[in-house]
Amino acid sequence: MALQWADFPSGQKGLYGVDEDYMLNGVYAQASQVVLEVDPDPTQTGTVIKAQGGTGYGALRYILSSAQGTVGVAQRVWKAALPSVSTQHGTYASFRNASNEIIVRIVDSTTGQLRILDKDDVELGVTATPVLVTNAWNHVEIKIVRGSPGGESCEIRVNGSVKFTSSTLSFSYNGQNVAQVSIGASNAGPGDWRKDYIIWDGSGSDFN
């Protein structure tokens, strides 16, 4: 792997002070319906981002230095509540092509499971059991590998344990590598907080 981006380290004030507009100064391509807040964990300090559910889709979107077939995302997520309906989900990774179209995305569910969806919201897979705990930091890692239809891979780990893995998936936009990654919340959902946000790709040789 090669590290593409790291942001919002635990216990730190962050790069942007209290003004989320600074996130658009050559860092993120989109920072909509996200705000900077203190860590919701009363035992922790530092600045984190809150992805706010609203009338549309809130997103923090980052453009990779080059499109890649292997891309991963890691972050800590704190949810005060799970979504009450499936459309009010948090998005843990939306892997997108150069035209900002969804290749595949991973969202949460009303039961605390994580779902893998294509661009048309067709479910490609789901964790077998609930994996998210409310009012606690959940460390979520997601990696996808592009390939031929029926031979694409996704692996999800939560707090260090593998919760989903498959190498027989079919993502959207066959033949197009991942050029952008976004995280966020949608459709008036409860929103959540994120920190220790990392993006990596397959251009290096470590931990692929």
DSSP conformational letter for 45: -
Per-residue confidence band for 12, with pLDDT thresholds at 50, 70 and 90: confident
Residue closest to 146 by CA, chosen among 110, 179, 170, 129: 170
**Strand bridging mode 137-145 / 152-158:** antiparallel
Residue closest to 89 by CA, chosen among 106, 70, 75: 106
Cβ proximity of 107 and 90 under 8 Å: yes
CA distance 66 to 101: 16
Each residue of 165-184: pLDDT tens digit?
Answer: 999 999 999 999 999 999 98
Give the predicted TM-score (pTM) of the model. 0.94
Three-class secondary structure of residue 148 per DSSP? coil
